[in-house]
Chain A
Amino acid sequence: MHHNPIFIENLSYSYPDGTQALKNINLTIKANERVALIGANGSGKSTLQLHLNGIILPQEGQVRIGEWIVNAENLREVRNFVGLVFQNPDNQLFMPTVWEDVAFGPMNQGLRDRELTERVRKAMAAVSMDLEYYGKRNTENLSGGEKKRIAIAGVLAMNPQVLVLDEPSAQLDPRSRRELITLLKGLSITQLIATHDLDLALEICDRTVVLSQGEVVFDGKTEQVMSNTDFLIQHSLEAPLCYSRPYCLLGDAPKKVIPTLQELTHHQH
């Protein structure tokens, strides 16, 4: 595994209509880090993510993935290195059956027969889906949560070293969301997760990068930024629900914030 899989230097990008999407981004992500990428709609999260896979090539600055600089020549290596999970699984599941869809990436890598079957089996196992049951099914006739899992399996089947997810918990019911969190926590692989679900970010990511109008305005510990309500509101965000909601049970309260019962009784004496 590469020790420094993502290295972005002075990256800027503007869309053909002149909209500046990214301004002078500098970002380094280390191996096995799980980083949340948060920011308002249109702050440049998706544009930044598309750069990591070479779908968009840098206009200014440089993106280095592992030992490859993202440019037209290295696309094949870059795309094998970074797996991109799109927000809407309907955009990603384009093959007629689940098996064929999960096998799409590895087949592009040139895998066939036993190796291919093995990859597909492993990827499906990684997202806890039964290959026997789902393999032959039509990708269209799955629930939202199932589609999301298959989409992730399709990317994991390529054995990437970095997983880039765009809004992974969007449109999922609470149980599917919980399963997704467990799944992402269990994957020992570098992850960059763009999300509006700040509770998810707080739960699984130690580090958070905040984008605002194409610029990195914060890069550091997740707890630090999540507890800074003013800063979040300033950048069109909001403190996670678990921070803003009063505690229903004393046991749910964070340990450091509220003194324990023993401490209270101790002070009285």
Chain B
Amino acid sequence: MLLHINAFHLDIDSKQFSFWHFLAPKTRVLCTLLLVFAIALTPNGRWWTWGIYGIGVLCLVLLSKVTLPVLFKRIAVEFAFVAVILFGTLFRSGGEIVWSWGIIKITSEGLTVLGSVTIKALLSLLMLNLLTLTTSVPALLNGLIALKMPPLLVAILASMYRYISVLIGEFNAMRRAAASRNLTGNSGWQRQVIGNMIGALFIRTYERGDRVYQAMLARGYQGVPPVSELPSGGKRDIVALTLTLILALLGQAIYLV
């Protein structure tokens, strides 16, 4: 799979115009985090709460005009990873036994946990994908800095974003060079060659990191990346945050009455 990564665009919907897009990046990050935490921290089995959150997330998806096929495709890929963890939750003990086969038992508790975690994961992934689809990476990084994330951490994220395509390019160049010298033979040999390539890539990454750091020093870098003044949010951002907060509280309140 690693051999077929092409240039990818994270933020295909960042140039749209909608209420969501007019919000400052930091507000978008805050709204997303608020909703994700509300979704994830809701105790298992509170289906109505997630119903309310689900309506909220769905409204946001429609409002932000994201390209739905891309959104669903990404969620499908991410779910392949989540499913591994989800599968483990199914075989919990406790509650009534719904179905059993030898030592494998599926209980009502297991089903509740599975359903809850699936919904949590689905809604959270929807929100996070919505954020990354609609916000360009530089804007996202600016948002993180505005939210007082440690600048060094943001700098690491920024250079990761900057150099990932360089790395992919280097790897593809090596792969092409190997192919042009007729890399064939059994898969064991191929695996060994790819292993060597990854090793070479590691060394090159290290050296390049060193040179990048020298280039940073040459332009007066002193350990902490400079931060520019960022525009603070307007009225619209306050409205958005308030609405998100109300939604989060409303979902929790439904089980209090």
Is A96 a contact partner of B214 (Cβ separation < 8 A)? no
Q: Provide the residues of chain B in CB contact with A104, threshold 8 Å.
A: 216, 219, 221, 226
Q: Which of B214, B216, B219, B226 has most A Cβ within 10 Å? A: B219
Interface size class of A (residues with CB under 8 A): 20 to 34
- Assess whether A50 is in contact with B214, with CB atoms less than 8 Å apart: yes
Q: Residues of B contacting A100 with CB < 8 Å? A: 138, 228
User: In the docked arrangement, what's the CA distance between A84 and B215, Å?
Assistant: 8
Interface string of B6-24 (1 = CB under 8 A from A): 0000000000000000000
State which of B40-48, B116-124, B161-169 sits at the interface with chain A. Answer: B161-169
Against B, the Cβ 8 Å flags (1 = close, 0 = not) of A41-85 are 000000000100101000000000000000000001001100110
Q: Can you list 17 A-B pairs, Cβ within 8 angstroms, ordered by A?
A: A76-B220, A84-B215, A90-B166, A92-B215, A94-B158, A94-B216, A95-B158, A95-B162, A96-B138, A100-B228, A104-B216, A104-B226, A105-B220, A107-B228, A113-B229, A140-B166, A155-B219
Within 8 A of B (CB), among A133-191: 139-140, 154-155, 158
A88 to B208 CA separation, bound complex (whole angstroms): 10
Q: Is A24's beta carbon under 8 Å from chain B?
A: no
CA separation between A95 and B219, bound complex, in Å?
A: 13
**Is B82 an interface residue when CB atoms closer than 8 A count as contact?**
no
How far apart are the CA atoms of A91 and B212 in the complex, in Å? 5
For A93, the chain B residues whose CB sits under 8 A away are 162
A108 interface neighbour in B141, B165, B221, Cβ under 8 Å: B221
A116 at the interface (CB under 8 A from B): yes
Task: Please measure, in the bound complex, the distance between the C-alpha atom of A105 and the C-alpha atom of B221, giving whole angstroms.
Answer: 8
| Chain A residues, CB < 8 A from B163 | 94
List residues of chain B with CB under 8 Å of any chain A CB.
137-138, 141, 158-159, 161-163, 165-166, 208, 211-212, 214-222, 226, 228-229
A contact residues around B217 at 8 Å (CB): 53, 55, 79
Partner of B218, one of A53, A90, A97, A116: A53
B161-A96 in contact (CB<8A): yes
In the complex, are the beta carbons of B226 and A107 less than 8 A apart? yes
Contact status B220-A94, CB under 8 Å: no
CA distance A94 to B219 in the complex (A): 12
Measured in the bound complex, the distance between the Cα atoms of B166 and A224 in whole Å is 42
Q: Determine if A112 and B219 form an interchain contact, defined as CB atoms under 8 angstroms apart.
A: no
A67 to B96 Cα, complex, angstroms? 84
CA distance A260 to B216 in the complex (A): 53
- Asked if A8 is at the interface (CB within 8 A of a chain B CB), the reply is no
Residue on B nearest A109 in the bound complex, by CB:
B220
A94, B218: Cβ atoms closer than 8 Å: no
Given contacts A86-B211, A91-B211, A139-B162, contact A55 B220 (CB under 8 A): no
11 further A-B pairs in the complex, CB-CB below 8 A; given A79-B219, A94-B212:
A76-B222, A90-B166, A90-B208, A91-B211, A96-B158, A103-B226, A104-B216, A107-B226, A109-B220, A154-B219, A158-B219
In the complex, which residue of chain A has the Cβ closest to the Cβ of B211? A91
For the complex formed, measure the closest distance between the CB of A77 and the CB atoms of chain B, giving whole angstroms.
10
Residue of A nearest to B220 (CB): A108
Residues of B within 8 A of A155 (CB): 218-219
- Residue of B whose beta carbon sits closest to that of A88: B211
Q: Which residue of A lies closest to B219 (CB)?
A: A105
A108 touches B162 (CB 8 A): no
In the complex, how many angstroms separate the beta carbon of B38 from the nearest chain A beta carbon? 30
Are A79 and B158 also in contact (CB < 8 A) when A91-B211, A116-B228 are? no
Give the distance to chain A from B57, nearest Cβ to Cβ, in Å: 28
With A97-B138, A107-B226 as known contacts, state yes or no: A91 contacts B218, CB within 8 Å. Answer: no
**B224 nearest CB across to chain A (Å):** 10
- Cα distance, A60 to B65, chains bound together (Å): 64
**CA gap between A50 and B212 in the complex, in Å:** 13
Q: How far is the CA of A6 from the CA of B208 in the complex (A)?
A: 28
Using known A-B contacts A104-B226, A113-B229, determine if residue A96 contacts B220 with beta carbons closer than 8 Å. no
Asked whether A112 lies within 8 Å of B211 as measured between CB atoms, the reply is no
Enumerate A106-123 residues with CB–CB distance to B below 8 Å.
107-109, 112-113, 116
